[in-house]
A and B are shown apart, each in its own frame.
Chain A
Amino acid sequence: MEESAYFDKYSPINNVWDEMYGLDANVREHYRKVIDYISKESADDLNKKEELAKRLFMSQGITFTVYNSGEGIEKIFPFDIIPRIITADEWAFVERGIKQRLNALNLFLKDIYHNQFIVKDGIVPIDIIYSCPHFLREMYQLQVPYDIYVHISGIDLIRDEDGTFYVLEDNLRTPSGVSYMLENREITKRLFPDLLPQCSVRSVTEYPSILYKNLLALSPRQIHNPTIVLLTPGIYNSAYFEHTTLARLMGVELVEGRDLVVNNHKVYMKTTTGLQQVDVIYRRVDDEFLDPLVFNPESMLGVAGLMGAYRKGNVAIVNATGTGVADDKAVYAYVPDMIRYYLNEEPILKNVPTHQLGNPDEREMVFKNLNNMVVKKTNGSGGYGMLMGHAASEQEIDDYKKEILKDPRNFIAQPTISLSAAPCYMQGELKPRRVDLRPYALYGPDGIEIVPGGLTRVALKEGSLVVNSSQGGGSKDTWVLA
């Protein structure tokens, strides 16, 4: 078969797993139809598609606002038009791995907030737990419905040079980005008419209805029509678009902290016809801001008395508060042990080897090899405060070392894993760029369900390994084949 001009000019990065480019310098079979399809399009046509995508994002308000000199500038999250494709086999493996991991993490949370067997048995050291800022004493002995803590999670996966999947981090607090999974697919339908069914791509549209079903099941009041709300920090939050999208797709009320009030350990929302009791809160507000009486007293985003109502069992909170102790980067290193301890199984998905800098021996070893390491803050996110050893100057490394020594517990180091690359459309050509994958898992009373798809984030800068949107990352539509 004749290869396309786009593919012919494509040069994969050495020693990096390429999602499209096979070992024998051929298109991998699952990318074939897409490559054939775009080969029929001129660079002009593809530029037009890119333009159309931008316009669709803009006119639908799928934007985040960057505040600059007092004036809000609307930006769109960069979107690459070439989909990232995952085969049915790869997906089945990932799905099994995530379910196993999530099961163990959820058991860990229940254990750590009740009997702490895992600590008593010497699997996880106690100081790692108690030094974690996201460990909440307020959750101790608090009974959550169905013993489910992590209802919604986004597990970040990456692939090394031979294509093996690794878990980079577990996002168990309020993971965002799922609206991009949904919107990217809608945009792809417009960009490449008829291509999705030809390739037998599995649908992602079930996500809101599964989430809704799970939320409904958590209602403490056994009534036919419980009140479910989505709690947002407000229109200035960068993920506000996502909050409205989810509220709309599930048909639940989108509320801000000021819309809610607690009376007699019950939560109510203020309506034009008086107070209405709230049963389930899907909150997109961090633990710290959720209840000014218990956490940050300065918070205007939360509801005074919410934790009291939660403890009484009069309202369900999703995700449960205090889940941050399980996605702490220092605790991350113990997840494989948790899987063995709670499930008596070998981990399906691998962990990236992780060194605790709180431990003097490991710290010394890491300091010697900083050039080949990535150092992260244990409670950081969004790609802020990271040191990429291979790209840092001597000065940056020295400064960072000083930073580490101030509070070593707050840092971990991992060997630089070379992320896999996928083709991106850039100025008329296909170029390899590094990607990760975040599938979204929903844990309800019926078990864990993962919508076949997810968010593929891509580092659009040449050579960059950082995919976070705050650091110049973009996203791709993610196809899981049937």
Chain B
Amino acid sequence: MLSRVAASFYWLSRYIERSDGMLRMLKINYASSQDTVQEFTWEPVMRIFAGLDAVEAEKLENDSRSVLKYMVTGKSNPNSILNIITLARENARGVQEHITKDLWQCLNEYYHTVKDVRLERALHREDPIGVLDVLIKQVMLYYGTVEITMERGEGRAFMNIGKYLERAIQSVDILDTKFSSISDNPDLLTDTTYWKHLLLSLGGYELYLKTYREGFEAENVLEQVVLNNDFPRSVIYSVNNIQRYFDRLKNDSNADDYREMSFQIGRLQSRIKYSSVKSIKQEGLHLFLTQIRSELYGVGNSLNQHYFANS
């Protein structure tokens, strides 16, 4: 497979996964903004997904409609759904003959849906949850189409590596942001809606209820999001999958590249696998998450170097 094609598969997949995480986060946050008596702040969302500094974020943070507009259709926001879907589609365009026609059409529809001026209007005037649901459905269609139509080859391996890398980074970022808010405001530690919304935005609420019977505890949330092998958005689940799909790239003609990266991913996997809530707390959660994040970025950089021929 061409290096450029592999890189496009990887980035296509990362952008789609990012849009999925963002849309779910926006939806739950909007819902919870309707549910609070105090003023609702969008600051954490803006910090995780838009990379805005405090001053810029402050201008927007309390006005839900403006935030949604900025995050979904904002042209000036490089990480808006509109912009990342445009990038996803450009990557898909560059590998059009490698993806199925079904998948190309599906991405195209997603793109045209986001681009439609009616969407922006609806986001402003109508029920935003309905609008976000339309977009979330497009992502689900995408995943279904990949599952049903894409060949199980190298391309899909790169797609999955991209997807799980993006997912792991997101989960780490979300945890880090949510837990650091607690050090500023310890009351949140016992605020059940705070944890409920965190879990909802990661799609882990139901699993939590089934696993833990004693109500919402920060430690349990941490355990589920970092260490639960069965939770599809946990860090360990994502890293296991990165390892699994990377294994499929094993090939005689690039044994050195493979060995080097295999080592790197294996080390990261073990680091998480052989941690416990207790050891993480001893070490300091923020420090732990920072290290995991930098190792995840390291995997991305190595792919660039060893597989995408970006010199």
Contact = CB atoms under 8 A, between A and B. Distances in A.
Nearest to A269: B2
Contacts of B2: 253, 255, 259, 269-272
Contacts of A68: none
Contacts of B309: 270
Interface string B119-142: 000000000000000000000000
Give the most central of A60, A244, A271: most B CB within 10 Å.
Answer: A271
A270 B93 contact: no
B11 interface: no
Interface stretch (B18-26, B65-73, B235-243, B247-255): B247-255
A258 interface: yes
Contact of A272 (B6, B90, B93, B112): B6
Nearest to B99: A248
A212 to B, nearest CB: 13
Q: Which of B3, B101, B112 is packed against the most chain A CB atoms within 10 Å?
A: B3
A248 B3 contact: no
A234 B93 CA distance: 9
Interface in B240-284: 249, 251, 253-254
Q: Is the interface of B mostly helix, strand, loop or mixed?
A: helix
Nearest to A254: B97
A256 interface: yes
B300 to A, nearest CB: 15
Nearest to B92: A61
Contacts of A258: 4
B164 interface: no
Nearest to B106: A59
A254 B101 CA distance: 15
Given A240-B93, A269-B2, A272-B3, A59 B254 contact: no
B104 A61 contact: yes
Nearest to B155: A272
A207 B4 CA distance: 28
A274 interface: yes
A235 interface: yes
Contacts of A61: 93, 96, 104-105, 108
Which of B1, B97, B253 is the most central at the interface, judged by chain A CB atoms within 10 Å of its CB?
A: B97
B42 interface: no
Interface in A376-422: none
Contacts of A60: 101, 104-105, 108
A273 interface: yes
Contact of A244 (B1, B90, B93, B253): B93
Interface residues of A, number: 22
A247 B154 CA distance: 19
A256 B4 contact: yes
Which of B93, B254, B307 has most chain A Cβ within 10 Å? B93
Contacts of B186: none
A247 B2 CA distance: 14
Contact of A270 (B3, B94, B104, B253): B3
A317 B307 CA distance: 28
B109 interface: yes
Interface string B205-246: 000000000000000000000000000000000000000000
Interface in A257-308: 258-259, 269-274
A255 B97 CA distance: 11
A303 to B, nearest CB: 14
B64 to A, nearest CB: 27
B154 A272 contact: yes
Contacts of B249: 272
B96 A273 contact: no
Contact of A271 (B1, B94, B101, B105): B1
Contacts of B3: 259, 270-272
Contacts of B90: 235
A270 B4 contact: yes
Nearest to A230: B97
Contacts of B253: 273-274
B97 A247 contact: yes
A274 B104 CA distance: 28
Contacts of B1: 271-273
A426 to B, nearest CB: 26
Nearest to A247: B97
Contacts of A269: 2
Given A256-B4, A271-B1, A273-B253, A244 B96 contact: yes
A195 interface: no
B104 A273 contact: no
A362 B199 CA distance: 83
Contacts of B254: 272-274
A61 B115 CA distance: 14
B10 to A, nearest CB: 11
A123 interface: no
Interface string B135-156: 0000000000000000000100
A66 interface: no
A52 interface: no
A263 to B, nearest CB: 14
Interface of B: 1-4, 6, 90, 93-94, 96-97, 101, 104-105, 108-109, 112, 154, 249, 251, 253-254, 307-309
Given A60-B101, A253-B2, 19 more contacts: A58-B108, A59-B105, A60-B105, A61-B93, A61-B108, A240-B93, A248-B101, A254-B96, A255-B2, A259-B2, A259-B3, A259-B4, A270-B2, A270-B3, A271-B3, A272-B1, A272-B308, A273-B251, A274-B253
Interface of A: 58-61, 234-235, 240, 244, 247-248, 253-256, 258-259, 269-274
27 contacts: A58-B112, A59-B105, A59-B108, A59-B109, A60-B104, A60-B105, A60-B108, A61-B96, A235-B94, A240-B93, A247-B96, A248-B96, A248-B101, A254-B96, A255-B4, A256-B4, A259-B3, A269-B2, A270-B3, A270-B4, A271-B1, A272-B154, A272-B249, A273-B1, A273-B251, A273-B253, A273-B254
List the 3 shortest-distance A-B pairs measured between CB atoms, nearest first: A248-B97, A244-B96, A247-B97
